[in-house]
């Protein structure tokens, strides 16, 4: 495997371990989704070091892991040349590298297909440019061609793509390009050779709107060969072999008269005269309605021959006295397989020379297990010349087929008479193994119930192979047979889901509503069965728009009932799996759906089920084995569980009818509140809260790290539960209590909008419950977040309401807390002096009372920031030192306290002390997984590096700080880190980038009322514009910056503005 492939695999595993989508990782790392997709699929040969470092940070890797990840070796040419690559154009364009199907960008696929149509020949450059970019000039298109050619070569190497300046070509062997092999085989007149050629076809090719002939030419070439093969098959008495192929082609080409003539003839030759005449009537009607034509003489002659019995099959004779050596072909036809190309490649490889005796395909109900197995069997027909055996074992119906019945049918299929087949099952199994020992056959055992059901049906020594499908994971099977692969089918990709719907309702209908089609795919849980049912309903209701039906499914509380057509429904399919489980496992499936987070561990399951965690985990694993629950792995390697969307709906419907539901919800709520209190007590022992709650002894945590990890893991569950409880009068008291107890942890963990929603639900719940103190406290927290978002009018109104409630409650700590929040609002928006007065008022309220150390530390830290911004650095440092000393009474200083103290020391020239504090702050913030505190420390380290003249380090640190701040969502802090990043850009001589970044910071800080940051950004922008020579604009920003600095008392920034104006001659 190529080394960039190893890097891609490593990246994908790290991402999936953290339950991140490609989009979420791209946003966190500040790179494009396409970049991550190319890396994971091995298409990027030399990834940028900066991108790898950004990904390592976004993945939260340890220093050792990050070093290993970012220092991955560059790919060698030898590794690239050793790859086994094949290109297929007899169907949708497909590139398979080392058994793995690669994603093909649209234009790469278009170029590859055009070159593949004439392998070994040159295709003119002008023709290709017109095909790919008809709207561009020759020069512009030529530049894009160079880039496209590099991507194509990287995808298909070691297959050679030649380029001599005026033309391109694809040099491929028959093993590398299926069309070369097809044409070699098609040149022969032998039936077996033509059979091999026909079986290379994988289905209708991609439809390219720009050049439909790219698809139709290959299809026409194949149809011509298929008709020759069908004619020979009829002549040799093998019409039944040709029937599936000709039937499918006739369906796809309803106006192709020669094809329909062949179809009618093959049906007749196979002994299906009535069907042959019906097919004639079908094509006659279509020709009349669509083209106004009568059937051609050829078609009429075929009809007449059918009536006369001219096409009856010729039967091959047997040598007298010999036992029949049949070649059974029992595998039924499969629906079109869409979106499972990689799994299909894995399955076929698992049955190859390097595979095992069997491949097991598992997945939940409706995931397409049978379709994959049957498609693979059809694809592998030539690899198993002695035939295929098939049995549906009915493992999901509750009426599993006994293996003895299947044994006897298989032996009869192999030509044995009833007298030759033993009545004892063990003897019959031994005879089956003997019969298969010198054959190369494929056995498909569909819908397996248990290992004991299939072991007697498996071949022994020899070259026969088996495909098994089951809704159960059958872990015991791996210890009983030689499994070459175990493939688990999950959801389809969005693109494949939409394509599956389009294959049924028509690609044009889907293309006309792309967003609605994606919404429909999501509403169906990207499950093939649900998608087929939804598409079937749309097909039967042409007056429905996809938009309307998608909205109907998404909004419906009865979505499962909507996903039904005729006797087929998703709910019925899921119910079969549910009914097959033991009662205790059924109970777990129902009640665990009350855990409303995306994923969960055994602890909440134990609470819901009233079972100890070990028993709960055993039940959850039973659900996983039954494919009724899925597993994910958290970043620390702990296994967690989650429902597929449709399975959760089914479980929820069952839970709603369960008399135990309310009791189970109460157990979950009690456990969640008790554990939240314990975790918050352990991590933040001196935190302010409206209600003191004592946790139970059994919920204690061994360390703050363990408690912090639990709070992080259960954030989704807590948020979802709070929202659910806030709307339920019976559980509303849990909503405000959970928010009250956990708010300090999630303030720096959650994005700002989510945190505000949490505080809002908590405050409303407290109000409805008549809890004045809690309502006042949570409304004060809303004030803080509204200020961060720049919604100042709302913040002032909420502040007045909270203050009134606090005055009523007489809660002095709450009053002090509100005073500090008021001070923050004044400091960032209008007046540093008003801010200092509010902080001093908070300290006056608190006095020296024990238990107030945390609030007093916060007030002193805020005073330190205000003093530092106004240029009173020594006074600011004294306040920060008091804050650190007070926090150490409770345990240790926080990363934010250390960072703000370091800022004052930097201003005083105490650089070594500032550096030591910042390194400590960064280490603590990283260990605590606090993005806000981490970004703060990184920003201060960047500013410190600037002072020391280390401009490169300053730029790298500021970049990290800005990306981390953006992920957190505090817009004011994003503006601040943007200023620091701009300052580093300016120091490194990137004047235009610096000016643009300062402009961005000005817009953000002005919109969100962050006066200090706006002042800083305007002064910095003036300096950058002056250096660029734009003196007029520089003068405007310097003057505005000076005005803001004077209004708010920002003395250091006023001096910088004065210097800028002096340089400008003002």
What pLDDT score was predicted for residue 520? 93
Query: Does pLDDT of 316 surpass 60?
Result: no
Of the two residues 8 and 219, the one the predictor is more confident about is: 219
Rounded Cα–Cα distance for residues 87 and 113 (Å): 9
Task: Indicate if 456 and 348 belong to the same structural domain.
Answer: yes
What pLDDT score was predicted for residue 636? 57
In a domain, 848, yes or no: no
Rounded Cα–Cα distance for residues 433 and 407 (Å): 10
Task: Indicate if 238 and 288 belong to the same structural domain.
Answer: yes
The DSSP annotation for 459-509 comes to: --SSS-EEEEEESS--GGGGGTS-EEEEEE--PPPHHHHHHHHHHHH-HHH
Please choose, from the candidates 485, 454, 528, 492, the residue with its C-alpha nearest in 3D space to the C-alpha of residue 347: 485
What pLDDT score was predicted for residue 158? 86
In a domain, 630, yes or no: no
Query: Does pLDDT of 130 surpass 70?
Result: yes
What pLDDT score was predicted for residue 153? 85
Backbone angles phi, psi at 286, to 5 degrees: -65, -45
Boundaries of domain holding 554: 494-573
What pLDDT score was predicted for residue 829? 66
Please choose, from the candidates 236, 241, 231, the residue with its C-alpha nearest in 3D space to the C-alpha of residue 199: 241
Task: Indicate if 189 and 260 belong to the same structural domain.
Answer: yes
Task: Indicate if 459 and 347 belong to the same structural domain.
Answer: yes
Query: Does pLDDT of 721 surpass 50?
Result: yes
> What's the 3-state SS for 14-62?
HHHHCCCCHHHHHHHHCCCHHHHHHHHCCCCCCCCHHHHHHHHHHCCCC
Element (H, E) at 161: strand 160-163
DSSP 384: -
> What's the 3-state SS for 933-955?
HHHHHHHHHHHHHHHCCCHHHHH
CB-CB contact of 363 with 489 (8 Å): yes
Task: Indicate if 55 and 189 belong to the same structural domain.
Answer: no
Query: Does pLDDT of 21 surpass 80?
Result: no
Which one of 80, 110, 131 terminates a domain?
80
What the block records as the tokens of 271 is 């002994």
CB-CB contact of 464 with 442 (8 Å): yes
Task: Indicate if 296 and 394 belong to the same structural domain.
Answer: no
For the entire predicted model, the pTM comes to 0.60
Per-residue pLDDT tens digits for 950-965:
999 999 999 999 888 8
CA-to-CA dists, residue 1055 to 84, 273, 867, 1036, 1061, angstroms: 67, 100, 16, 16, 10
Query: Does pLDDT of 608 surpass 90?
Result: yes
Query: Does pLDDT of 72 surpass 60?
Result: no
Q: What is the mean pLDDT of residues 28-38?
A: 74
What the block records as the tokens of 238 is 């093998």
In a domain, 456, yes or no: yes
Task: Indicate if 362 and 476 belong to the same structural domain.
Answer: yes
Residues 200, 202, 203, 209, Cα dihedral to 10°: -100
In a domain, 771, yes or no: no
CB under 8 A, 24+ apart: contacts of 7-11: 7/39, 7/42, 7/47, 7/72, 8/39, 8/40, 8/41, 8/42, 8/44, 9/40, 10/69, 10/72, 11/36, 11/39, 11/40, 11/55, 11/69
Helix or strand or coil: residue 87?
strand
Q: In angstroms, how far is CA 380 from the centroid of its own chain?
A: 31
Beta strands (DSSP E) in 880-1008 are: none
Task: Indicate if 513 and 473 belong to the same structural domain.
Answer: no
β-pairing verdict for 167-171 and 465-470: unpaired
CB-CB contact of 70 with 50 (8 Å): no
In a domain, 347, yes or no: yes
What pLDDT score was predicted for residue 46? 63
Backbone angles phi, psi at 158, to 5 degrees: -90, 10
Which one of 459, 488, 517 terminates a domain?
488
Q: What is the mean pLDDT of residues 268-291?
A: 82
What the block records as the tokens of 802 is 């909270």
- Burial class from Cβ neighbours inside 10 Å (0-12, 13-18, 19+) for residue 982 reads buried
Task: Indicate if 479 and 508 belong to the same structural domain.
Answer: no
Backbone angles phi, psi at 395, to 5 degrees: -70, -10
Q: What is the mean pLDDT of residues 474-486?
A: 75
Query: Does pLDDT of 79 surpass 70?
Result: no
What the block records as the tokens of 35 is 């970049």
In a domain, 719, yes or no: no
Contacts of 211 (CB under 8 A, 6+ apart): 110, 114, 131
Rounded Cα–Cα distance for residues 879 and 867 (Å): 9
Q: In angstroms, how far is CA 798 from the centroid of its own chain?
A: 39
Per-residue pLDDT tens digits for 625-684:
888 998 887 665 667 899 999 999 999 999 999 999 999 999 999 999 999 999 999 988
What the block records as the tokens of 114 is 């055009």
pLDDT band at residue 398 using 50, 70 and 90 as cut-offs? low
**Count of domains for the chain:** 5
In the chain, what is the straight-line distance between the N-terminal and C-terminal CA atoms, in Å? 66
CB-CB contact of 896 with 861 (8 Å): yes
Query: Does pLDDT of 348 surpass 60?
Result: yes
Task: Indicate if 349 and 484 belong to the same structural domain.
Answer: yes
Q: In angstroms, how far is CA 537 from the centroid of its own chain?
A: 28
Alpha helices in 459-542 (DSSP H): 494-505, 507-511, 514-523, 528-540
Rounded Cα–Cα distance for residues 454 and 434 (Å): 17
Q: What is the mean pLDDT of residues 729-737?
A: 94
Q: What is the CATH number of the domain that holds 410?
A: 3.40.50.300
Q: What is the CATH number of the domain that holds 300?
A: 1.25.40.10
In a domain, 1032, yes or no: yes
Which among 192-201, 239-248, 654-663, 699-708 has the top mean pLDDT? 654-663
Q: What is the mean pLDDT of residues 593-601?
A: 91
What pLDDT score was predicted for residue 883? 92
Please choose, from the candidates 524, 479, 714, 451, the residue with its C-alpha nearest in 3D space to the C-alpha of residue 605: 714
Per-residue pLDDT tens digits for 960-988:
998 888 876 678 888 999 999 999 999 99
Rounded Cα–Cα distance for residues 184 and 544 (Å): 48
CA-to-CA dists, residue 695 to 617, 678, 711, 769, 1062, angstroms: 24, 5, 15, 22, 63
Which one of 546, 573, 600 terminates a domain?
573
Task: Indicate if 348 and 479 belong to the same structural domain.
Answer: yes
Q: What is the CATH number of the domain that holds 45?
A: 1.10.260.40
Helices first, then strands: H and E counts in the chain = 52, 15
What pLDDT score was predicted for residue 27? 77
Per-residue pLDDT tens digits for 852-908:
888 899 899 999 999 998 999 999 999 999 999 998 887 888 999 999 999 999 999
Per-residue pLDDT tens digits for 321-347:
333 445 888 898 888 899 999 999 999
Per-residue pLDDT tens digits for 1014-1057:
999 999 999 999 999 999 999 999 999 999 999 888 999 999 98
Q: What is the mean pLDDT of residues 930-944?
A: 91
For residue 445, list its beta bridge partners.
391, 468
Q: What is the mean pLDDT of residues 706-728?
A: 92
In a domain, 63, yes or no: yes
Residue reference for tokens 């364009």: 93
Task: Indicate if 402 and 453 belong to the same structural domain.
Answer: yes
Q: What is the mean pLDDT of residues 593-612?
A: 93
- Burial class from Cβ neighbours inside 10 Å (0-12, 13-18, 19+) for residue 575 reads middle
Rounded Cα–Cα distance for residues 1048 and 1030 (Å): 27
What the block records as the tokens of 828 is 């960032």
Q: What is the mean pLDDT of residues 832-846?
A: 87
CA-to-CA dists, residue 1032 to 183, 837, 1021, 1028, 1061, angstroms: 72, 39, 12, 11, 11
**Mean pLDDT in the chain?**
85
Going 518 to 519 to 524 to 529, the CA torsion angle's sign is negative
Helix or strand or coil: residue 1051?
helix
What the block records as the tokens of 321 is 């006295």
């Amino acid at each position: 495997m190529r080394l960039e492939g190893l890097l891609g695999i490593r990246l994908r595993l790290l991402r999936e371990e953290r339950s991140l989508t490609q989009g979420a990782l791209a946003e966190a790392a500040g790179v494009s989704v396409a970049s991550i997709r190319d890396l994971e699929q091995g298409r990027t040969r030399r990834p940028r070091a900066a991108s790898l470092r950004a990904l390592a940070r976004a993945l939260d890797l340890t220093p050792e892991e990050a070093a290993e990840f970012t220092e991955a070796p560059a790919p060698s040419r030898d590794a690239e040349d050793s790859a086994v690559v094949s290109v297929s154009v007899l169907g949708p364009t497909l590139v398979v590298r080392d058994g793995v199907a690669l994603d093909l960008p649209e234009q790469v696929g278009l170029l590859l297909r055009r070159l593949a149509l004439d392998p070994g020949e040159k295709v003119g450059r002008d023709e290709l440019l017109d095909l790919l970019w008809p709207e561009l000039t020759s020069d512009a298109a030529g530049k894009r061609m160079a880039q496209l050619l590099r991507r194509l070569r990287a995808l298909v190497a070691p297959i050679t793509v030649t380029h001599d300046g005026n033309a391109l070509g694809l040099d491929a062997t028959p093993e590398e390009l299926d069309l070369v092999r097809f044409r070699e085989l098609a040149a022969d007149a032998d039936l077996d050779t033509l059979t091999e050629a026909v079986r290379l076809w994988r289905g209708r090719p991609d439809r390219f709107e720009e050049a439909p002939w790219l698809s139709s030419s290959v299809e026409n070439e194949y149809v011509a060969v298929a008709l020759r093969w069908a004619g020979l098959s009829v002549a040799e008495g093998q019409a039944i072999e040709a029937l599936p192929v000709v039937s499918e082609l006739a369906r796809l080409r309803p106006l192709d008269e020669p094809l329909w003539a062949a179809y009618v003839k093959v049906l007749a030759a196979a002994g299906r005269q009535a069907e042959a005449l019906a097919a004639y009537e079908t094509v006659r009607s279509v020709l009349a309605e669509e083209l106004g034509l009568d059937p051609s003489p050829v078609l009429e002659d075929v009809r007449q021959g059918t009536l006369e019995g001219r096409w009856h099959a010729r039967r091959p004779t047997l040598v007298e006295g010999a036992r029949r050596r049949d070649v059974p072909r029992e595998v039924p036809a499969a629906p079109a397989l869409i979106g499972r190309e990689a799994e299909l490649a894995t399955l076929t490889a698992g049955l190859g020379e390097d595979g095992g005796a069997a491949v097991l395909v598992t997945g939940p109900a409706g995931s397409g297990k049978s379709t994959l197995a049957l498609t693979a069997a059809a694809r592998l027909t030539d690899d198993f010349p002695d035939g295929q055996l098939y049995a549906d074992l009915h493992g999901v119906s509750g009426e599993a087929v006994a293996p003895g019945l299947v044994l006897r049918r298989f032996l009869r299929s192999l030509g044995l008479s009833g007298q030759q087949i033993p009545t004892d099952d063990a003897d019959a199994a031994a005879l089956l193994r003997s019969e298969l020992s010198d054959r190369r056959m494929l056995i498909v055992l569909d819908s397996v119930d248990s290992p004991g059901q299939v072991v007697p049906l498996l071949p022994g020594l020899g070259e026969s192979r088996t495909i098994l499908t089951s809704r159960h994971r059958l872990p015991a099977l791996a210890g009983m047979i030689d499994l070459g692969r175990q493939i688990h089918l999950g959801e389809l990709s969005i693109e494949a889901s939409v394509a599956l719907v389009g294959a049924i309702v028509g690609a044009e209908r889907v293309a006309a509503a792309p967003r609605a089609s994606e919404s429909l795919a999501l509403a169906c849980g990207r499950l093939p069965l649900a998608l087929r049912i939804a598409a079937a309903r749309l097909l039967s209701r042409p007056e429905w728009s996809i938009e309307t039906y998608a909205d109907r499914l998404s909004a419906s509380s009865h979505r499962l009932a909507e996903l039904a057509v005729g006797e087929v429904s998703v709910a019925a399919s899921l119910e079969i799996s549910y009914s097959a489980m033991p009662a205790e496992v059924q109970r777990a499936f129902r009640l665990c759906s009350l855990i409303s987070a995306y994923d969960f561990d055994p602890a909440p399951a134990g609470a819901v089920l009233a079972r100890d965690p070990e028993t709960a985990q055993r039940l959850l694993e039973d659900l996983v084995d039954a494919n009724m629950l899925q597993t994910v792995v958290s970043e620390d390697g702990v296994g967690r569980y989650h429902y597929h969307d449709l399975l959760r709906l089914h479980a929820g419907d069952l839970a709603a009818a369960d008399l135990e539901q309310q009791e189970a919800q109460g157990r979950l709520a009690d456990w969640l509140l008790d554990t939240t209190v314990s975790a918050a007590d352990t991590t933040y022992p001196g935190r302010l809260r409206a209600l003191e709650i004592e946790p139970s002894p059994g919920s204690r945590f061994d360390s703050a790290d363990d408690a912090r990890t639990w709070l992080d893991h259960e954030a989704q569950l807590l948020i979802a539960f709070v929202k659910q409880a806030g709307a339920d009068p019976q559980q509303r008291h849990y909503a405000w209590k959970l928010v009250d107890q956990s708010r300090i942890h999630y303030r720096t963990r959650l994005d700002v909008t989510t945190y505000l929603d949490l505080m809002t639900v908590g405050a409303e719940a407290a109000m409805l419950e008549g809890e004045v103190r809690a309502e006042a406290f949570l409304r004060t927290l809303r004030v803080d977040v509204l200020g961060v978002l720049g919604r100042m009018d709302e913040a002032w109104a909420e502040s007045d309401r909270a203050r009134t409630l606090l005055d009523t409650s007489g809660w002095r700590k709450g009053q002090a807390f509100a005073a500090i929040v008021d001070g923050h609002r004044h400091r960032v928006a209008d007046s540093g002096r008003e801010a200092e007065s509010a902080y001093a008022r908070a300290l006056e309220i608190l006095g020296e009372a024990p238990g107030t150390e945390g609030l007093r530390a916060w007030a002193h830290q805020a005073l330190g920031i205000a003093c530092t911004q106004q240029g009173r650095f020594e006074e600011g440092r004294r306040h920060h030192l008091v804050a650190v000393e007070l926090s150490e009474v409770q345990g240790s200083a926080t990363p934010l306290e250390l960072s703000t103290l370091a800022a004052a020391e930097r201003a005083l020239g105490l650089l070594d002390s500032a550096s030591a504090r910042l390194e400590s702050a960064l280490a603590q913030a990283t260990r605590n997984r606090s993005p806000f505190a981490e970004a703060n420390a990184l920003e201060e380290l960047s500013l410190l590096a600037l002072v020391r003249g280390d401009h490169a380090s300053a730029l790298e640190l500021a970049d990290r700080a800005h990306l981390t701040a953006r992920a957190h969502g505090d817009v004011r802090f994003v503006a601040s880190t943007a200023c620091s990043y701009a300052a580093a850009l300016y120091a490194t001589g990137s004047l235009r980038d610096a000016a643009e970044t300062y402009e961005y910071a000005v817009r953000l800080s002005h919109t969100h009322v962050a006066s200090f940051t706006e002042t800083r950004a305007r002064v910095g922008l003036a300096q950058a514009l002056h250096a660029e020579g734009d003196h007029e604009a520089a003068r405007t920003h310097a003057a505005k910056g000076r005005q803001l600095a004077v209004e708010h008392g920002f003395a250091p920034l006023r001096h910088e503005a004065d210097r800028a104006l002096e340089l400008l001659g003002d």
